[in-house]
Structure formats: structure tokens, C-alpha cells
Amino acid sequence: MRTNLIFMTTNTDESVLANGLIPLNTVQRKYGCAVQPTLNGISLTRPGYYKVSGTITFTAPAAGDAIVQVQKSNTDVPSITASETITTADTEVRTLPIEGIVKVFCNEGFVTLNIVNTGIAITVQNVALVVEYLD
């Protein structure tokens, strides 16, 4: 078992506007001190590599592209993004997987990870995110 990991979820319907933060409001599991919960995010407290993986299940009140993006201290993390095209409003339940590696440099101090909805407005129904400190 990893000694530094966090598993956060949201299991209630939450509306998220375009460019809004995907809520992460429940800590399911947490080990170690390299990862700490913050309001709708996770603080990374040590330099090194972190594995990020999760899913976002949602519907959308309008047709268009639903896009989620992981950000590190308000900057997009390249390649940790996912999208789906919604064709029928309010009826399509979709799940977006996200996965990738984030590096925290020695001179960065604490950084915060968030998931941002960069597409159309969505209603999340289930969000699960695991962040593991690798070294």
C-alpha cells in the first residue's frame, strides 16, 4: 500500500458551470501527509511525482462538448483532460476518465490540483479522484 494517497469523491448532484470547479467534497481514504484535501481540490505538499486518476459521471442541460481539465495551481496540466460530445440535453449520462502524472518541482512549495469544467455546463452525479505520491 502507498503511504501517501488520497481518494476523494462527490456523490450528490452538483451543477457546474462552464469554467467552474468540479466539486470534491468527501475524503474516502487518506494516508500520509504528501496529499491534503482542500476546498474542491487536493494540495500536494512534497516535490516529486503524483499519479492522478479518476472518473466524472455527469449529464448536461444542453448539447455541446463537455470537457474536464486537471489544473495544477490554476495552470492546465498537459494531457490530463477528457471530453465527450453531448447531442441530447438532460438524457445522456456520460463518464469521463482522467489519468496522468503531475510533477511538483522543489521550488514550487505547496500546489493545488483541481478539476475544471472547461466545456458546457454539466451536472455531476458521481466524481471519484485518487492522487498517489510516487516519489
| Residue-level length of the chain | 135
pLDDT of residue 3: 78
pTM: 0.92
Average pLDDT over residues 115-121: 97
Query: What backbone phi and psi angles, to 5 degrees, belong to 44?
Result: -105, 120
pLDDT of residue 50: 96
| pLDDT higher than 80, residue 1 | no
Residues 15/101/74/32 CA torsion (nearest 10 deg): 80
| pLDDT higher than 80, residue 78 | yes
Does 5-133 carry CATH code 2.60.120.40?
yes
pLDDT of residue 2: 55
